[in-house]
């Protein structure tokens, strides 16, 4: 025996039906059988259960061969909600989605350049959560959870929940989940899913973007710095890897993490712009990184008939080589089918930048794995991190067969609350 209980089997069957309808619906009960591998009796029981829970609804009908029309089913969009949060380099973005990931509301709060004051970021997230719920009149009790993409490594402790170690932004073991729950207007049983922003970007691209259908992929987040998410059959839901802090030059430039020679010291937007200035480039003063990068690209790739800035071109060429060399390490180590480049800076650099990156990646990588990988831009645009963050609670909801976690009224105070009370001044 494999140790599975009847309850486990029911949950797995609900998950199979929900996911198939989510990605390929609307479908009839007849189509769900071969699509899920379940018997017609199991499909009928599961569908009846999900309809009773309000998770499925009818979506018209189709003609059948000689019989009555078959009713189509789909996931009911209003049966649950998720919030996705992107703690980015220039702003905190908060979006509310229905169960089918249709955006219902969004808000953005700017961050002062290079400033990640913990209380400011926590305040922006709290205010953003309240705003998107109020704007739509959404009952917080319908939330499946709040997903948050952050820079850095995320660990989980019994005392504080999700704790962020963001060395490049000055966050040293920040108990982000505990801080968000303190003073939050959300019900105490709403779950927070906090992970690295590269992981949430990868989650979005694998579900709905350029990674869909691939067994193995690396999704690169190219923003102010760089990071990556690895997805393989062994790491099905992806794992963030601190690729930006791979050493590419011994004794090289100092990275914002404090080490010397990191890839991020050469390939992130922050370092790219810094090297342009050092080489004599002149971005406009007092502008944010996105505007400065736009100005650099306009200088390097001007309209037809105008002369390109050779300094900007040289720095972009050097950046393409460093990025390609960094990708070659991912190719050699993990042999992915696809590499997708996303993030605001990666999308700004775009298709014009990518051929040089591909060429260098191929030159530095071993021939066999390099010949089997494709390198392309991500397909989901600048909102991909937020969408991926919202997918985190959705994936958990599916894994539990579409059932919400059972609240524990009258139980002991959560560990994050007692931990904060212990640290509070008396």
What is the average pLDDT across 369-397? 94
Please report which helix (H) or strand (E) contains residue 52, including its range: helix 40-52
250 pLDDT more than 70: yes
Q: What is the C-alpha separation between 242 and 167, in angstroms, rounded? A: 11
Q: What is the DSSP string of 177-242?
A: HHHHHTT-SS-TT--EEEEEHHHHHHHHHHHHSTTTT-SSEEEEEESSSEEEEEEETTEEEEEEE-
Whole-number pLDDT of residue 425: 36
Q: What is the pLDDT of residues 30-88, one digit of tens each?
A: 999 999 999 999 999 999 999 999 999 988 877 776 667 888 999 999 999 999 999 98
Instruction: Tell me the mean pLDDT in the region 148-174.
Output: 91
Q: What is the pLDDT of residues 76-105, one digit of tens each?
A: 999 999 999 999 878 899 999 999 999 999
Task: Give the per-residue pLDDT at 218.
Answer: 95
How many CB atoms within 10 Å of residue 151? 24
pLDDT at 418 over 60: no
Rounded-to-integer distance, Cα 15 and Cα 403, Å? 10
**Predicted confidence band of residue 396 (pLDDT cuts 50, 70, 90):** very high
Q: Are the CB atoms for 292 and 286 separated by under 8 Å?
A: no
CA distances from 406 to 7, 14, 239, 397, 414 (A): 15, 17, 28, 12, 14
Question: Buried b vs exposed e over 219-240: b needs ≥16 C-beta within 10 Å?
Answer: bbbbbbbbbbbbbbeeeebbbb
Distance CA 285, CA 316 (A): 20
For residue 327, what pLDDT is reported? 96
pLDDT at residue 160 in the model: 85
Instruction: Note the pLDDT of residue 196.
Output: 93
Is-above-0.85 flag for pTM? Answer: yes
Estimate to the nearest angstrom the gap between the alpha carbon of 128 and the chain centroid.
18
- Contact criterion met (CB below 8 Å) for 232 and 216: yes
Q: What is the pLDDT of residues 324-343, one digit of tens each?
A: 999 999 999 999 999 999 99
Closest listed residue to residue 238, CA positions, set 221, 218, 222, 212: 218
Buried-state track 256-286, b at ≥16 Cβ within 10 A, e below 16: bbeeebbbbbbbbbbbbbebbeeeebebeee
Q: What is the pLDDT of residue 349?
A: 93
Tokens of 229: 């998410």
Report the chain's terminal Cα–Cα distance, integer Å.
Answer: 55
What confidence score (pLDDT) does residue 62 get? 79
The pLDDT > 70 percentage for the chain reads 91
Closest of 174, 48, 166, 187 to residue 119, by C-alpha: 174
Q: What pLDDT is attached to residue 94?
A: 97
DSSP-based three-state secondary structure for 276:
helix
Can you give the pLDDT at residue 1?
Answer: 46
Q: Which of 299-313, 342-356, 398-412 has the lowest mean pLDDT?
A: 398-412
Res 16 pLDDT > 70: yes
User: What does the alpha-carbon distance between residue 376 and residue 210 come to, in Å, rounded to a whole number?
Assistant: 8
Asked whether the predicted pLDDT for residue 414 surpasses 60, the reply is no
pLDDT at 284: 64
Question: Buried b vs exposed e over 306-340: b needs ≥16 C-beta within 10 Å?
Answer: eeebebbeebbeebbbbbbbbbbbbbeebbbbbbb
DSSP state of 249: S
Q: Provide the β-strand partners of residue 221.
A: 227, 342
Q: What are the strands, taking DSSP E only, across 122-168?
A: 143-150, 153-157, 161-166
- Per-residue pLDDT band at 285 (split at 50, 70, 90): low
pLDDT, the chain, mean: 88
In this model, does residue 148 exceed pLDDT 70?
A: yes
For residue range 342-371, list pLDDT tens digits in order: 999 999 998 899 999 999 999 999 999 999
Q: Please state the rounded mean pLDDT for residues 131-149.
A: 95
Do the bridges between strand 70-75 and strand 27-28 make them parallel or antiparallel, or are there none, so unpaired? Answer: antiparallel
Neighbours of 153 (CB within 10 A): 15
Q: Considering only 118-132, 347-361, 392-406, which range has the smallest mean pLDDT?
A: 392-406
Among residues 414, 423, 16, 422, which one has the least CA distance to residue 184? Answer: 414
């Amino acid at each position: 025996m494999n140790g599975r209980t009847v309850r486990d089997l029911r949950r797995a069957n609900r998950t199979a039906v929900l996911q198939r309808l989510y990605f390929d619906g609307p479908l009839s009960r007849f189509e769900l059988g071969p699509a899920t591998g379940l018997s017609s009796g199991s499909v009928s029981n599961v569908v009846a259960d999900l309809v009773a829970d309000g998770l499925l609804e009818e979506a018209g009908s189709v003609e059948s061969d000689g019989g009555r029309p078959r009713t189509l089913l789909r996931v009911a969009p209003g049966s649950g909600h998720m919030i996705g949060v992107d703690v980015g380099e220039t702003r905190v973005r908060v979006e509310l989605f229905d169960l089918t990931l249709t955006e219902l509301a969004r808000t953005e709060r700017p961050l002062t350049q290079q400033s990640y004051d913990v209380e400011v970021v926590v305040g922006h997230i709290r205010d953003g959560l309240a705003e998107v719920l109020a704007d739509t009149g959404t009952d917080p009790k319908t939330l499946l959870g709040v997903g948050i993409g952050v820079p850095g490594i995320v660990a989980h402790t019994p005392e504080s929940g999700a704790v962020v170690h963001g060395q490049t932004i000055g966050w040293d073991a920040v108990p982000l989940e505990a801080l968000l729950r303190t003073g939050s207007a959300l019900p105490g049983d709403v779950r927070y899913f906090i992970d690295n922003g590269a992981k949430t970007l990868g989650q979005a691209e694998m579900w709905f973007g350029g990674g869909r259908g691939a067994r193995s992929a690396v999704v690169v987040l190219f923003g102010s710095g760089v990071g990556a998410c690895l997805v393989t059959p062994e790491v099905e839901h992806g794992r963030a890897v601190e690729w930006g802090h791979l050493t590419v030059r011994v004794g090289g430039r100092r990275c914002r993490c404090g080490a010397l020679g990191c890839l991020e010291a050469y390939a992130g937007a922050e370092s790219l712009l810094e090297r342009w200035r050092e080489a004599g480039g002149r971005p406009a003063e007092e502008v944010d990184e996105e505007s400065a990068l736009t100005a650099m690209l306009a200088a390097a790739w001007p309209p037809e008939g105008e002369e390109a800035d050779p300094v900007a071109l040289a720095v972009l060429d050097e950046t393409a080589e460093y990025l390609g060399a960094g990708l070659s390490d991912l190719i050699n180590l993990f042999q992915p089918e696809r590499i997708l480049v996303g993030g605001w800076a990666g999308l700004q650099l775009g298709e014009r930048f990518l051929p040089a990156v591909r060429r260098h990646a191929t030159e530095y990588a071993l021939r066999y794995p390099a010949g089997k990988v494709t390198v392309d831009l991500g397909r989901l645009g600048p909102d991909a991190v937020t969408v991926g963050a919202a997918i985190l609670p959705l994936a958990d909801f599916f894994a539990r067969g579409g059932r919400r976690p059972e609240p524990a009224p009258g139980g002991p105070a959560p560990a994050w609350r007692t931990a904060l009370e212990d640290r509070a001044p008396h």
